[in-house]
Structure 1
Amino acid sequence: MNQNPATRMTNRRKFIQISSALSVGALLPLQFCSPAKKEESTTDAILDAAKGILDDFGLQLYSVKENMAEDPVATIKSVAGFGYTQLEGFDGGKGIFWGMSPTDFKKLMDDLGVKFIASHANTFENLEQQAEQAGSIGMQYLICPWVGPQKSMDDFKRLADDFNKQGEICKKHGVKFAYHNHGYTFDTLDGQIPQDYLMENTDPGLVDFEMDTYWVYTAGKDPIEYIKKYPGRFTLGHVKDKSGDLPFSEANGSTIVGTGIMDFPSILRAGMDNGMKYFIVEQERFEGTNPMDAAEKNAAYMKNLVF
């Protein structure tokens, strides 16, 4: 393809906005088109009928890491009130349960009607204990969030073996293991793409992947092409948008979802069609706003997302 990722995403966004409205309009019951309802325009009817495809979506709590460090319970209560039905955690120095016992943490989630589906964690240390605790409260995943750039493909080959072993430990406790990508796994190394090697040399029964769509996109790859290339392997996805106000090469360029240049209706449609089960908002840059306000705006976008 000759178009760059930004152009392709912009074109897809324009197409999906038009086609979504047309397809929904074609499926509207006759009463929406009846002349008797003069007070409601056809456009309003289409928007009302089309509103909200995702029943469940989540937030990576790293998006509000400063608030979590200050008061994790109050922060979790607030983001639950924004409409997130799922949360993905991280280890902020007090463990993935933020100083609470696993059962106390689960009670907090249950009281709020939110599911703690997964957490980023150091899966290279104390994995047995972490997996046992995660399994005991019904978590779905423990996720390795970072391995860093490697010197050679031999290093990634060793990581593939490590991931398979970590997957076995997690499976024993009823939890799944996943790896979360950054851009470096999409950079050619020794003539190979490390991400491809990891996906093709890990056991699908033991290792899943969490696609950080932002890092795939900013590495110059097409998230949709990768989702389709490896159906069923990207079971989780980070919904993180790229600002169009910054140079494309700017690494820290995330923005409120729906205001950037990534075509999430098309990306998430491809995800749903190819085995992606969890859609998790993440934002790391907050120019002109604060993390909690951004989390609320991101939730509003996800609740009204049509694709």
Structure 2
Amino acid sequence: MKNRRKFIKMSAVLGTGALLPLQFCASPKKETVEGTEALLGAAKGILDDFGLQLYSVKENMAEDPVATIKAVASFGYTQIEGFDGGKGIFWGMKNTEFKSLTDDLGLNFIASHADTFKDLETQAEQAGAIGMKYLINPWVGPQKSMDAFKKLADDFNKQGEICKQHGLRFAYHNHGYTFEELEGQIPQDYLMENTDPDLVDFEMDTYWVYTAGFDPIAYIKKYPNRFKLGHVKDKDGDLDFSEPNGSILVGKGIMDFPAILRTGMDNGMKYFIVEQERFEGTTPMEAAEKNASFMKNIVF
């Protein structure tokens, strides 16, 4: 499996637009990373806004959410995407209190990962009341049959309707399991094609698409305007593709984010959210600051 990391340039980058597994897409790692670093020194980045998934600094959030969010704002992020760390998506605060905190720091609390199968009416009402854009289901787990995914598509449509009634959107965040063939189908394709675009959007975790053996660029092109949010999470080229926890500082891995983000912007992606889950030789907060620097300066 390790040799797969040598074959990283995606078919869509070359202009084919074909949805090919990555093992058929070849080009070396270093040109992408070094080319990006050269560009970083040449011009100011073009992203006016970008965010951080707070799960990247989950230990800090558990210790002191207010101090952590203040630090995140100081790094240059303009948006945050939350998660439920056990105290709800507002971290023990009222929704309006959390909104005041982020507003005072110049942060837009655009979305949160949440258990959308539990108390969705209440969550959606509170999120909509403070102008959040999304509630996102981040995990349903591998399913045993396509019938289970068919039920999930129906569930997502219903959840999307509830969110819409409260002035926000519903989205589903993928992991690798929706890209594993099941009964001759790719579950992610089924979910994309059998949910109502008026009710359901998707957040592409580019890392999980890539490590599942697919091309994020081609997938964005295959389903334009469905991936409204994207997780910017890089893959460490020194780790096997089968390693589930293989993220690294953005721009230091093997994924071509200038090309991925350009394609996203051209195909309806509005929100670009940094996420990192593995830290070698740095702390989560140090990594968040370095990733913000990359995002502030990225050009494509």
Answering whether residue 115 of structure 2 is matched by residue 122 of structure 1, we say yes
SS in 2 for 1:59: strand
Q: CA deviation at 1:225?
A: 0.5
How far apart are the structure 2 equivalents of 1:257 and 1:146? 23
SS in 1 for 2:269: coil
Aligned residue in 2 for 1:306: 299
Answering whether residue 8 of structure 2 is matched by residue 7 of structure 1, we say yes
Which residue, 94, 100, 103 being the options, matches 1:101? 94
Alignment size in residue pairs? 281
Identity of aligned residues (%): 77
Higher relative contact order (CA 8 A, sep 6+): 2
Q: Which AA in structure 1 matches 2:31?
A: K
Distance change >3 Å, CA 304–CA 150, structure 1 → 2: same
How far apart are the structure 1 equivalents of 2:30 and 2:77? 24
Distance change >3 Å, CA 285–CA 80, structure 1 → 2: same
Q: CA deviation at 1:51?
A: 1.3
Q: CA deviation at 1:13?
A: 7.7
SS in 1 for 2:62: helix
Answering whether residue 49 of structure 2 is matched by residue 61 of structure 1, we say no
How far apart are the structure 1 equivalents of 2:216 and 2:31? 17
Matches within 5 A, 1:1-307: 6-8=7-9, 14=31, 47=42, 50-307=43-300
Structure 2 unmatched ranges of 5 or more:
11-26
Contact kept in structure 2, 1:208 and 1:233, CA below 8 Å: yes
Deviation string 1:157-205 (CA, Å, 9 cap, x unpaired) is 0000000000000000001000000000000000000000000000000
Distance change >3 Å, CA 73–CA 20, structure 1 → 2: closer
SS in 2 for 1:7: coil
Distance change >3 Å, CA 211–CA 251, structure 1 → 2: same
How far apart are the structure 2 equivalents of 1:191 and 1:13? 36
Q: What TM-score, normalized by structure 2, do the two folds share? A: 0.90
SS in 2 for 1:195: helix
- Point out the more displaced range, 130-139 or 12-21: 12-21
Q: What TM-score, normalized by structure 1, do the two folds share? A: 0.88
Aligned residue in 2 for 1:28: none
Q: CA deviation at 1:14?
A: 3.4
Which structure's CA Rg is the greater one? 1
Deviation string 1:50-100 (CA, Å, 9 cap, x unpaired) is 211100000000000000000000000001000000000000000000000
- Over the aligned positions, Cα root-mean-square deviation in angstroms equals 2.0
How far apart are the structure 2 equivalents of 1:109 and 1:184? 34
Q: Which AA in structure 1 matches 2:243?
A: E
Distance change >3 Å, CA 150–CA 75, structure 1 → 2: same
How far apart are the structure 2 equivalents of 1:85 and 1:19? 22
Deviation string 1:222-268 (CA, Å, 9 cap, x unpaired) is 00000000000000000000001212221100000000011100100
